[in-house]
Amino acid sequence: MKYVVYGLTSVLTSSAAASAVMRYAAALLQTGSSDLVAIPAVDLAGVPIAVEVLLGPGVPVLAEPAADDLLEPEHREFIDDLAERTRFVLARRSERA
């Protein structure tokens, strides 16, 4: 599990989802783009939620380790979606070059 820290708050999500967010944020930075992303997370009571964040240049975001959770969710659909978005953004960048 990892915390995705955004502004003055953080959201707890799976390690794989946090890594996907960081890769997508890096791709958006490289292309000067931004996007709204609903990160699958859990609230303080452990209830699944989605937290919307705006990713883009000038928007600092970081992922920091959290305690391991044996029941860590996979968030496969979210990770696949961000991977596709990342490929699309980077492909657009390549076409412009």
Task: Retrieve residue 44's tokens.
Answer: 């303080």
Contact between 57 and 29 under an 8 Å Cβ cutoff? The reply is: yes
Domain ranges of the chain: 2-96
Residue 93 has pLDDT above 90, yes or no: no
**Helix pair angle (76-96, 15-31), 10° resolution:** 20
Per-residue pLDDT tens for 29-82? 999 999 999 999 998 888 999 999 999 998 899 999 998 876 788 899 999 999
Residue 94 has pLDDT above 80, yes or no: no
